Structure 1
């Protein structure tokens, strides 16, 4: 018979461990940003080949995040968190020792495998924390991705500017080892809610093929040409393979992603809002650093170095850390739907501030702080909405799929805004560069998508039967019930 959950000791240390795991995942993504211009020289290769250092992580993470979530449901989330640390450590060491582009791409791909730590950690919170701490903890761990990016970028820029670039990857390896040790020491083992179910190998392969084709087309379409045979062929292959994957997933007994759950209005609309939020967030991440670093001679650039630009953006990352607990309190008081709508409105307001204050570095700093405040609210609310609408046995997979939706939003946002910045140009003295109107259009697009996400979030229906008791952990000796477990009241309003 199921037993009531026992008290979990050291909940503060559990939350700190999972938040650090999220920061580590974010640092892995922003690690190479200060090196992008120098990578061709460092790796003795062409700029197009060096770009795969970024693309490899994106592709592998897109494929592995939902798979990691499902495996966490089946064999235990703590075990999968530790498993994610292994490729992060090995990949960082491989990158630190690389002298060419191929080992660097391999190392970055290994780092991408470990990106599933964030949705796994969020899903684990539902299993181990009391109801009164759940919303604020979800908000903090969710926001850790932005916190890590905001803090990691200036640190990485400082190391790249004043020390050997290899120290970046040795530091990343040490950070991943620290996370692994803390998981062993502080994170409790929880019985797997989907233990005994069969892993969907066909679904994993189908999703991998579809996502690789889609993400390749989105991330490399600008380089290859959006009308090129390669890009169009990849888009067609993605449509066919993802349609076939969806047909198979709908009919199999133990799917990688339960589409019957995914099409429920609360889950479907939350995922759609996540795509829009991802797009809206990344527009600012592309535009603001370039505005800060563009030469002042252009009349709208602010002439900052990479390190200075990172420092101007640092308060935005710290703002996420400050706002995320407030988002948790708002979720407890009014429900995650209200928090998501508020986050979208604040994000849109941040883009409005950026349009008004883009003429100075302090103005862009303020705008970034507002933008990141909106992201912190939204990112804390989305997992709460997802976990309030799916069975306990699907929290890992459902959070992984939601993380994938956010990643698709950022990928599409990067591609679309990148095209805008590349097409809206001006030429001075024989040099062509992005015009001021191009940057302003990118900011307008980010604000528009933020408002759209708020509209979508406002349409999310209320839960049908919220429960007033915390979830019941399954007896390890009892068969898994795929319909068991609903969210805490704190995340189901």
Structure 2
């Protein structure tokens, strides 16, 4: 993607209605409008994850993992193309288009009369997936430099509102209307996001000259990610040394490597991967993506544990209602809210590597503790606070590190690349969780139920991945603080 941008001749300067302190009313409203579609992804993950148990039992499927995975895979496949088109036609315009597609997918899924049709709808809804990359990149165009870090932190910490209200919304919908209530709620939330984009978010002026698109590279990248995920998902069923398993896994890896070769040699690459040669960039990409993918990808463990029924010798879920789960999650939700905003404020003076690394470490500790104690309301409430501390730090610090590592011209590419990497890792980690859970499970009347040993092993896997995230954070060099980042100045200070 070209780093030589061509702004529109009528492009306005970044909005500055803030005066000398704070973001100002207009800027805060724009940040809120960008926060909604961005955090809708988190809400969709929460609602969809909680609906899995109901969906599996309604459609009698043992392949419930694809309810989440098909959405993530589509988002991963289209992300490079979406980022490219955003450079051509403007980030706001492309955000509007993918939101419309996401709304169509939500409606198809809500109306589905078969599991296959449901997956088609979820796949179409995956077009909405790259919106977070564009929203964060838009901040660089719409906000004055001194407010870029604060605005990004505010958008990221908006997950606290999702954590606070999302469980109650999920509980009310699932307990009163079943999984279809959840799917219709997602459609309504997407429609609100579209309205905000149309009425509140200004045009994003930055453009690059339109060129050809490396369709072959995108196909290799998306196809490779899909093949890799599918192979991992089938490994437990087919056997890890089975030729079909190895064919999908090795073929997927080779396809991704071929993408790198074609994109670096292409006159019109999807991503200018040259930025990844800088230590400040590749380490931030690796650490931010791995840590975020771990906390998001392993979230299905708790959702399945809590909402699947308790059936002797068949299912060792806790059999809670979604509303009850929301009530015992109140302390954690409030804590995410406080820690998220507190971290966003602290990042004005604190090195963003510290909360990301500490968040990853706390996540590992939380998984290990929950592995031993996850059987009562008290266990879930007390140990959930550890995970809440981790989540609040991670979601606020990761986007700021991206800003600190790249230049404004690289911002859209960097956000798109990080979204893509995180999407692939989240999908792979989620699939690994299902593989681990399936090793200790029972199938009754076409539905797969999980035993306690499976949940424990899944938590152990999650803890190990979080530790890898801590190690990745330690590789990041010292970066220039976001408040000091101006055009072309996002470089390391080391």
TM-score (norm 2): 0.83
* 1:165 to 1:492, Cα distance in 2 relative to 1, 3 A: farther
Structure 2 CA distance for aligned equivalents of residues 466 and 143 of structure 1: 18
Distance across 1 between alignment mates of 2:384 and 2:199: 36
Of 333, 338, 344, the match for 1:322: 338
The whole-number CA distance in structure 2 between the counterparts of 1:178 and 1:433 is: 36
Contact 2:157–2:340 at 8 Å: present in 1 too?
yes
1:302-313 to 2 correspondences below 5 Å: 302-313=318-329
Deviations 1:328-375 (A, max 9, x none): 223221232223222223323433543565343233223223213212
**Stretch deviating more after TM superposition (332-341 or 110-119):** 332-341
Give yes or no for the alignment of 1:400 onto 2:416.
Answer: yes
Please show how residues 86-165 of structure 1 align to structure 2 within 5 Å.
Answer: 86-144=100-158, 148=162, 151-163=165-177, 165=179
Contact 2:359 2:389 in 1 (8 A): yes
Unpaired segments of 5 or more residues in structure 2? 1-5, 18-25, 443-447
Partners in 1 of 2:227 and 2:331 — Cα distance?
A: 37
2:302 maps to which residue?
288
Aligned with residue 342 of structure 1, among 354, 358, 382: 358
SS at match of 1:47: coil
Match of 1:375 in 2: 391
In 1, Cα distance between equivalents of 2:120 and 2:304: 29
Q: What corresponds to 1:236 in structure 2? A: 250
After TM superposition, list the pairs within 5 Å mapping 1:44-59 onto structure 2: 47-48=61-62, 52-59=66-73
Q: For the structure 1 residues 109 and 318, does the alpha-carbon distance in structure 2 shift closer, same or farther, using more than 3 Å as the test?
A: farther
2:404 corresponds to:
388
Q: How far is the alpha carbon of 1:60 from its aligned partner?
A: 0.6
Q: Is the 8 A contact 2:239 2:245 kept in 1?
A: yes
Number of residue pairs the alignment of both structures matches: 472
How far is the alpha carbon of 1:238 from its aligned partner?
A: 0.8
1:321-470 equivalence runs, <5 A: 321-355=337-371, 357-423=373-439, 436=452, 438-463=454-479
User: Which of 7, 11, 21 does residue 15 from structure 2 map onto?
Assistant: 7
Aligned to 2:21: none
- Per the alignment, residue 23 of structure 2 pairs with none
1:291-313 superposed Cα distances (whole Å, 9 cap, x missing partner):
44563979986552343224433
Q: CA RMSD in A?
A: 3.5
What secondary structure is seen at the aligned counterpart in 2 of 1:166? helix
Q: What CA distance in whole angstroms lies between the structure 2 residues aligned with 1:461 and 1:49? A: 42
The residue aligned with 1:480 is none
Gaps of 5+ in 1: 427-431, 473-484
Residue 65, structure 1, aligned to residue 73, structure 2: no
TM-score normalised according to structure 1 size: 0.83
CA distance in 1, matches of 2:335, 2:209: 39
Contact 1:193 1:392 in 2 (8 A): no
